């Protein structure tokens, strides 16, 4: 069956460390993979998009990798700050604009 899973529901790290979030999927062949941030009571906000022929994408302190053989994406936040605390969602981009979301990983960055 088709599945998309993100690592443990909650991730707690110390300020200044690198946070690494995992997104694994099975029985999908996405052309794109996107990462969003969601704060409580708000809608998801787009962070990064990576295409199937790209290995890595960076934006400021954010880095995403996409391994279509392993069917996995890793999302890194370097030099994390308490303001990075939020839920992070990965989404597979399929045909027709359809996005299939993972359940999200709640990141908490402690000062």
Partner 1 sequence: DTAVSQTPKYLVTQMGNDKSIKCEQNLGHDTMYWYKQDSKKFLKIMFSYNNKELIINETVPNRFSPKSPDKAHLNLHINSLELGDSAVYFCASSPSGQGNTEAFFGQGTRLTVV
Site membership for partner 1, residue 53 (CB under 8 A): no
Which residues 58-97 are close enough to bind partner 1 by CB under 8 A? 87, 89, 93-97
∠ CA 88-18-45, rounded to 5°: 25
Task: Tell me whether residue 31 or residue 79 sits nearer to partner 1 (CB atom).
Answer: 31
Site membership for partner 1, residue 32 (CB under 8 A): yes
| Whether 77 contacts 70, CB under 8 Å | no
The single residue among 8, 15, 26, 31 that binds partner 1, judged by CB under 8 A, is 31
Task: Tell me whether residue 19 or residue 91 sits nearer to partner 1 (CB atom).
Answer: 91
The total of other beta-carbon atoms located within 10 Å of residue 31's CB is: 12
Please state, in angstroms and rounded to a whole number, the distance separating the CA atoms of residues 10 and 23.
14
């Amino acid at each position: 069956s088709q599945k998309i899973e993100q690592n443990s529901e909650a991730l707690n790290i110390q300020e200044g460390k690198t946070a690494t979030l995992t997104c694994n999927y099975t029985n999908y062949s996405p052309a794109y993979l996107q990462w969003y941030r969601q704060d409580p009571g708000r809608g998801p906000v787009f962070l990064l998009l990576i295409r199937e022929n790209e290995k890595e994408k960076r934006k400021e302190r954010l880095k995403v990798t996409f391994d279509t053989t392993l069917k996995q994406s890793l999302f890194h936040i370097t030099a994390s700050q308490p303001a990075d605390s939020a839920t992070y969602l990965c989404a597979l981009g399929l045909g027709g604009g359809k996005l299939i979301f993972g359940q999200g990983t709640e990141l908490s960055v402690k000062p």
